[in-house]
Chains A and B, each alone.
Chain A
């Protein structure tokens, strides 16, 4: 365990905590970006360069931007007057704490059985490309189909419906 791991872990956890605790929704999205960046650094620390850069491209480059767009389109940056938490937040908090307690107990009690390879894996991007084109070609095609379906589905879901039009202000949202 190096010092770098502790710094990155603290960054990720702090970003995640800020993302779920802050009142302003835009600040939450920015904190989420910090958490994503921390996780990408953790992937790089784990010698998974390709997954780390994919994380940066997909999450910081696309998902975080999409979240900010959705927040601004739904005017979610205005903090509601009656609080940002649901009527019974204790149920969720107790559930989450229970899940963390069980997971932490399981990890700590199985620490001696966990695999512990010290050799660094020497995986190049060429190996990943070869694996994607040979052994994992069917999942790759399925993911391509899924992404196409999600693209069309998201456009159709968010497309402007003329029948339910209730004002000219929603025209800009339909252009998304």
Chain B
């Protein structure tokens, strides 16, 4: 590791990797809950970016990135609650959480 290596680069790379993993999970899994898990991973990767830029940015005392991450966590919690409620309701109607089997609205 060269001495001028920016620590922010490491955090951004980890966030990019987590985002890609979450995207791959959301696009390839068949269980609707696993797709939601992939979306949560992507949201977390974005939060890591916000916090990392806040920490290494020029004005950490302004708290902008930190506030953005905290509000993002709150919105993600609301999204998870509504999404999982929808999955449970769909399971009650269709008796499956397999996304490939949910083709009733297919055009």
Verify A86–B81 contact, CB threshold 8 A: no
Q: Is A139 on the interface with B (CB-CB < 8 A)?
A: yes
**With a CB–CB cut-off of 8 A, which chain A residues contact B81?**
66, 150-151, 154
- CA–CA, A68 and B24, complex, Å: 21
CB interface residues, B 42-66, toward A, < 8 Å: 44, 47-48, 51-58, 60-61, 63, 66
Verify A67–B27 contact, CB threshold 8 A: no
- CA–CA, A150 and B9, complex, Å: 36
How many chain A residues touch B (CB < 8 A): the figure is 85
Verify A66–B29 contact, CB threshold 8 A: no
| A123-B61, A147-B77 as given contacts; A107 in contact with B19, CB under 8 Å | no
**With a CB–CB cut-off of 8 A, which chain B residues contact A9?**
10, 14
CB interface residues, A 17-58, toward B, < 8 Å: 17, 19-20, 25, 28-29, 32, 35-36, 39, 42-43, 46-48, 50-51, 54-55, 58
Q: Is A116 on the interface with B (CB-CB < 8 A)?
A: yes
CB interface residues, A 117-138, toward B, < 8 Å: 117, 121, 123, 127-128, 131-132, 136
| Count of A-B residue pairs with CB < 8 Å | 252
Verify A63–B77 contact, CB threshold 8 A: yes
What distance in Å separates the Cβ of A110 from its nearest Cβ neighbour in chain B? 9
Residue of B nearest to A8 (CB): B14
Residue from the list A70, A86, A108, A164 in contact with B84, Cβ < 8 A: A70
Contacts from A to B (Cβ < 8 Å): 1, 5, 9, 12-13, 16-17, 19-20, 25, 28-29, 32, 35-36, 39, 42-43, 46-48, 50-51, 54-55, 58-59, 62-63, 66-67, 69-71, 73-74, 76, 80, 83-87, 89, 91-93, 95-97, 99-100, 103-104, 107-108, 111-112, 114-117, 121, 123, 127-128, 131-132, 136, 139, 143, 146-147, 149-151, 153-155, 157-158, 164, 170, 173, 176
Known A86-B30, A108-B13; further 14 A-B contacts with Cβ < 8 A: A16-B22, A20-B21, A46-B51, A46-B54, A58-B77, A59-B44, A100-B16, A104-B13, A117-B58, A121-B61, A128-B70, A147-B77, A149-B78, A157-B82
Q: List 14 A-B contacts (CB under 8 A).
A: A12-B18, A20-B25, A35-B18, A35-B41, A51-B47, A55-B44, A55-B47, A59-B40, A66-B84, A67-B84, A74-B87, A116-B7, A147-B74, A155-B85
